[in-house]
Chains A and B, each alone.
Chain A
């Protein structure tokens, strides 16, 4: 993998800029899967979305400057998630016309693919798992635009400008959605986070 390191002042962290698309995709695939899994509640749909996003990156954007790959990738990912939401809505309408129920959603925990990491303190591990489940539930419950802003700003660490590019909106809208998302999460998770 060939990459360089740049600084993200907004989150006081360094980020890697890849010169090779394969390396970039390898670095983001797990996060993209979990984001899609939280948003869609279904691991097969999430995997399809991630692969579809990768296909778009390879076919359309691999010749773009590498510093554009991150906002482009997550914009495509979020658009695919949005498209699947609307696809499910249409299919539900079909199901209503045909008189048969459609249930393409899996209500299980989005973080069930997280392996049980062996440790020395079962009580601590149990609390950690409960906390993670609470986080995933709270994020999944956010209104879609707040969820997008949170995933891109906080989870991925995109700048406000790059998040605006990924969401297709203004920086002001990003700040509003993100602030509201944090307020909602703070309320939903007050038992787990006391800060």
Chain B
């Protein structure tokens, strides 16, 4: 098992040093963006989640009011409530990625 671990680790780590230039450039850019975010004004950092919540509320309202199959009541669908936090995450991250 130790030899397998060693071989796998070597192979996987070798792939890191051989990453293509375009991907490496995009990673550097991602790092720069992340580091620059600590210098963004607080108000603009708060606006993204606020917009995300507003979007999530609209999405949830549309789902509740949308017509379903005959006899189907979405409010009885327990998975809807379970997934509501994911709808919020969905909207928040869509807003974040687009920004």
Cα distance A90–B93 in the bound complex, in angstroms? 14
Cα distance A132–B10 in the bound complex, in angstroms? 11
> How many B residues are at the interface, by size bracket?
35 or more
Q: DSSP class of A's interface residues: helix, strand, loop or mixed?
A: helix
Interface residues of B in 10-32 (CB under 8 A from A): 11-13, 15-24, 26-28, 30-31
Query: Residue of A at shortest CB range from B96?
Result: A52
Query: Residue of A at shortest CB range from B97?
Result: A48
Query: Residue of B at shortest CB range from A50?
Result: B30
Q: Is A54 an interface residue (CB 8 A)?
A: yes
Q: DSSP class of B's interface residues: helix, strand, loop or mixed?
A: helix
Contact digits for A70-96, partner B, Cβ 8 Å, 1 yes 0 no: 000000000000010011001101000
Verify B34–A114 contact, CB threshold 8 A. Answer: no
Cα distance A93–B93 in the bound complex, in angstroms? 18
Verify A31–B7 contact, CB threshold 8 A. Answer: no
Verify A33–B19 contact, CB threshold 8 A. Answer: yes
Question: B3 — which chain A residues lie within 8 A by C-beta?
Answer: 193, 195
Q: Is A186 an interface residue (CB 8 A)?
A: yes
Instruction: Using CB atoms and an 8 Å cutoff, list the residues of chain B in contact with chain A.
Output: 1, 3-5, 7-9, 11-13, 15-24, 26-28, 30-31, 33-35, 37-38, 79, 83, 86-87, 89-90, 93, 96-97
Instruction: Using CB atoms and an 8 Å cutoff, list the residues of chain A in contact with chain B.
Output: 11, 21-22, 25-26, 29-31, 33-34, 43, 47-48, 50-52, 54-55, 57-59, 62, 83, 86-87, 90-91, 93, 111, 113-115, 117, 131-132, 135, 154-155, 157, 182, 185-186, 189, 193, 195
